[in-house]
Protein backbone atom coordinates (compact mmCIF):
# COMPACT_ATOMS: atom_id res chain seq x y z
CA UNK A 1 0.00 0.00 0.00
CA UNK A 2 2.70 2.49 0.95
CA UNK A 3 4.59 1.94 -2.32
CA UNK A 4 1.56 3.22 -4.25
CA UNK A 5 1.68 6.46 -2.26
CA UNK A 6 4.82 7.83 -3.88
CA UNK A 7 4.44 11.42 -4.99
CA UNK A 8 6.35 14.32 -6.42
CA UNK A 9 8.56 16.40 -4.11
CA UNK A 10 6.68 19.01 -2.15
CA UNK A 11 3.41 17.09 -1.94
CA UNK A 12 2.14 16.23 1.52
CA UNK A 13 1.05 12.67 2.28
CA UNK A 14 -1.21 11.91 5.22
CA UNK A 15 -2.69 8.43 5.61
CA UNK A 16 -5.69 7.70 7.80
CA UNK A 17 -5.90 4.17 9.10
CA UNK A 18 -7.12 2.00 11.91
CA UNK A 19 -5.02 0.91 14.85
CA UNK A 20 -3.71 -2.18 13.03
CA UNK A 21 -1.64 -0.10 10.58
CA UNK A 22 1.61 -0.36 12.52
CA UNK A 23 4.94 -2.15 12.69
CA UNK A 24 8.59 -1.27 12.25
CA UNK A 25 8.68 -2.04 8.52
CA UNK A 26 5.50 -0.08 7.83
CA UNK A 27 6.72 2.90 9.83
CA UNK A 28 10.11 2.77 8.09
CA UNK A 29 8.34 2.95 4.71
CA UNK A 30 6.32 5.94 5.90
CA UNK A 31 9.45 7.68 7.14
CA UNK A 32 11.18 7.06 3.81
CA UNK A 33 8.29 8.81 2.06
CA UNK A 34 8.13 11.56 4.72
CA UNK A 35 4.50 10.57 5.29
CA UNK A 36 2.28 10.75 8.34
CA UNK A 37 -0.33 8.26 9.46
CA UNK A 38 -3.23 9.26 11.66
CA UNK A 39 -4.71 6.39 13.61
CA UNK A 40 -5.95 5.57 17.10
CA UNK A 41 -3.36 4.52 19.64
CA UNK A 42 -3.37 0.86 20.58
CA UNK A 43 -3.66 0.04 24.27
CA UNK A 44 -0.18 -1.54 24.20
CA UNK A 45 1.49 1.55 22.69
CA UNK A 46 2.96 4.69 24.17
CA UNK A 47 1.90 8.03 22.70
CA UNK A 48 3.68 8.86 19.44
CA UNK A 49 3.77 11.92 17.23
CA UNK A 50 2.66 10.07 14.06
CA UNK A 51 -0.77 9.18 15.31
CA UNK A 52 -3.94 10.63 16.67
CA UNK A 53 -4.92 9.35 20.11
Mean pLDDT, the chain, whole residue set: 77
CB contact at 8 A, 51 and 41? yes
- What is the span of the domain harbouring residue 7? 1-53
Q: Are 4 and 17 in contact (CB under 8 A)?
A: no
The pTM for the full model equals 0.57
Reduced 3-state DSSP string for 1-53: CHHHHCCCCCCCCEEECCCCCCCHHHHHHHHHCCCEEECCCCCCCCCCCCCCC
Q: What is the pLDDT of residues 6-21, one digit of tens each?
A: 677 778 888 888 888 8
Structural domain count of the chain = 1
Amino acid sequence: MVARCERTPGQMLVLIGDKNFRGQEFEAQLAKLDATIIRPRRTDEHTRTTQSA
